Chains A and B, each alone.
Chain A
Amino acid sequence: MALPKGVQAVAPAVPAVFTRATLADREAALGRLLLAPAALYVVVLVGIPFVLAILLSFSGARSGSLAFDWVGLRHFRAIIADPQFLLTLRNTLIFTVASQVLVMILATTAANILEAAFVGKRAVRMLLLLPWAVPVSLATMAWAWIFDSTFSVINWTLRALGIFQGWIYWLGDPELAMLAIIIIHVWRMFPFATVILLAGMTAIPLEIREAAVIDGASFWRRLFQVNLPLLLPVVTVAVLFGVVFTSTDLSVVYLLTRGGPYNSTHVLSSLAFQRGILGGDLGEGAAIALFLLPVLVFAAILLLRMARRAEVGG
């Protein structure tokens, strides 16, 4: 604007340092800067090892040697023909499906109970979370005693109550050992699922749940027709986490049975560890560990799509 003669523009009394655009004003640059650590983490600690694992599964690499020869699908052909691998694959599926079904039933029940108001609710919530918070090695050691062939608390209790007079060798029998593994894993996982479900339940508007009460719906009708459908997106997330955590879990099997008796309770990750790390055959270990990857990716996409559909209500 042109100023009349003799009138001078008065400079604002703000130091120049305040008017200069700083990094915080340049959102594009700031955004990149703030994302950089996360991107670095994903690339270096997730992406590279993942690609390396895929490459390893097609190689004849062994520990103790730097040779990296391409063997194509040899490992995959070998493991498919291996009865031990097929048994392990079956174990992994049983382990994952059975423990997820049990986890979801237990978590839904626990979340419904914990949602109600009662005295000591906070204490119960704390206690419930303990299995998840306890280090898995400690917990499994305690469980190992519970299932011990000589000192089993369960056997003693069954006997004392007069329910069963015989003696159960929990970890000596392939089926019972698998059951023991599933029990421990369910015990570990369901608190986490409960917390997710509880969070999902508090997100359902109270008025909708009261409307169902007023509309005369029974407890089961409210659960299956109102609460669970509204929880579906959250349940999906809980199941997805559970499936991934379970099908890749090494700790319980390795700590409790080491795959025994007679390699009958191996799951993919424990077998991969045994063959790849302890046995030194990195290529075969990687092939075993990666075997379920396509299935898991497919399941994840399917579940996430289902959750999205439930959200839009279509």
Chain B
Amino acid sequence: MGYVETRNLHKHFGDVRAVDGVNLDVSEGELLVLLGPSGCGKTTLMRMIAGLEAPTAGEIYIAGQRVDEGVPPRARGIAMVFQSYALYPHKTAYRNIAFPLEAAGQPPAMVKERVSGGARMFGLERLLARFPRQLSGGERQRVALARAVVRDPKVFLFDEPLSNLDAQLRAIARYELKEFQRQIGTTTVYVTHDQVEAMGLGDRIAVMEKGKVRQIGTPQDVYENPADTFVATFLGSPPMNLVEHDEATLFGFRPEHLLPRVAFPAEAPVLPYHLRVRQVEHLGASRLIYGYLEEETRSDQPVIADLPVTIPLPIAEQQVYEFAVPRRAMRYFDRRTGLRRDGAA
């Protein structure tokens, strides 16, 4: 049994099935990312685990105890970091971090010790007397993390905690978050719509759409072997190319696998394509080639190729080039259901 588990969990708002039968199984110490577009139900799912929403149906277990009925948030052993950090604006950093400890009725000496411990962990010692408005975005985030960690919770719930940081800071914060989670080894559920964050942070990723989990797996697994066309196109930037092969089958390949034929050894097993180039974007480390596959029967299937600068071949717009996709990189999807199949047939 998982450390955090949901069984056939539902949340309906009227006719809308925000969460529609989700089974999750998070192991102890694992960091599971819930990834999906806005409105996919990932935040509602997390709020049900936290106890801020009551499920319409289904069960939730934390550390083996059923919590969905009659266990209020404070008794679930969870700590949550909100998107806005939700610091108390009228309390200093110190009082913010101390708040959950005081609420739990800890003796003052213990509160003091734990707050200084948390402050040390996040390098906040000199900021404890400041109010949230006197702190930078990154500092606020660290206060929110310290407030979550001092209670020694069983489970961390993170609701897009990095989305309010600017892009430069985000990469560093992501690294620090991962370091910190590994160090203290607390089971974590992390909600985000940012696939880079999900790929970088998650031990596993649960990709959600329309209230359902489409696929759960390691970042590598969901990226390389997407369970269906939704996962295939939601993950990856630019997304996986999907082209019609025949009545029943879609071929899928990542832009970085669609390369000029000359980039492969002559004997390599590849599927050749003619690519009519419409536009070239130079992105520094790579070139994005937007174009259409030229076949005898049709030439209206748009694809994107992602060429690293290590392939310096000149490419001109409006010209047709020989490209190819390695066979091992090709994925096959059922046109009707969108589900991945093992072979082309």
Binding site for B on A (CB under 8 A): 205, 207-208, 210-218, 221, 225-226, 229-230, 232, 310, 312-314
Contacts and interface: CB of A to CB of B under 8 A. Distances in A.
A221 B86 CA distance: 17
Nearest to B144: A211
B99 A215 contact: yes
Contacts of A208: 86-89
Which 7 interchain pairs have the tightest Cβ spacing?
A: A216-B74, A211-B86, A215-B100, A207-B86, A217-B103, A313-B131, A216-B103
A225 B96 CA distance: 11
B60 interface: no
Nearest to A314: B131
A225 B99 contact: yes
A216 B100 contact: yes
Given A205-B84, A232-B90, A312-B133, 18 more contacts: A205-B86, A207-B84, A208-B88, A208-B89, A210-B52, A210-B86, A211-B87, A213-B52, A213-B73, A214-B52, A214-B79, A215-B74, A217-B100, A218-B103, A226-B88, A230-B88, A230-B90, A313-B132
Contact of B78 (A214, A218, A230): A214
A210 B90 CA distance: 16
A312 B87 CA distance: 15
B82 A210 contact: yes
B80 A214 contact: yes
B93 to A, nearest CB: 12
Chain B CB count within 10 A is highest, among A208, A215, A314, for A215
Nearest to B95: A225
12 contacts: A207-B86, A208-B86, A208-B88, A211-B88, A215-B103, A216-B104, A217-B99, A217-B100, A217-B103, A221-B103, A225-B99, A313-B132
A115 B271 CA distance: 63
Nearest to A216: B74
B214 interface: no
B134 to A, nearest CB: 8
Chain B CB count within 10 A is highest, among A212, A232, A312, for A212
B257 interface: no
Contacts of A205: 84, 86
Contact of B89 (A212, A216, A221, A313): A313
Interface in B48-106: 50-52, 73-74, 78-80, 82-84, 86-90, 99-100, 102-104
Contacts of A314: 131
B249 to A, nearest CB: 46
Interface in B119-162: 131-133, 147, 151
A229 B103 contact: no
Nearest to A313: B131
A214 B132 CA distance: 19
Contacts of A225: 99
A208 to B, nearest CB: 5
A215 B90 contact: no
Contacts, number: 67
Chain A CB count within 10 A is highest, among B50, B82, B84, B86, for B86
Nearest to A229: B90
A226 B87 CA distance: 10
Contacts of A310: 90
Contacts of A313: 89-90, 131-133
Chain B CB count within 10 A is highest, among A205, A210, A211, A314, for A211
Contacts of B74: 213-217
B90 A207 contact: no
A212 B80 CA distance: 10
A214 B89 CA distance: 17
Given A229-B90, A313-B133, A211 B82 contact: yes
Contact of A214 (B73, B83, B88, B133): B73
A313 to B, nearest CB: 4
Contacts of A213: 51-52, 73-74
A233 B197 CA distance: 39
Contacts of A230: 88-90
A314 B102 CA distance: 22
Nearest to A206: B86
A212 B103 CA distance: 9
B144 to A, nearest CB: 9
A226 B91 CA distance: 9
A310 B89 CA distance: 10
A212 B104 CA distance: 12
A28 to B, nearest CB: 34
A203 to B, nearest CB: 12
Nearest to B89: A313
A142 B246 CA distance: 84
A231 to B, nearest CB: 10
Contacts of A232: 90
B339 to A, nearest CB: 38
A312 B51 CA distance: 32
Nearest to B50: A214
Contacts of B147: 215
Nearest to B82: A207
B59 to A, nearest CB: 21
Contacts of A215: 74, 99-100, 103, 147, 151
B82 A216 contact: no
A205 B88 CA distance: 10
B191 to A, nearest CB: 13
Nearest to A204: B89
Contacts of A210: 52, 80, 82, 86
Contact of B83 (A207, A217, A221, A312): A207
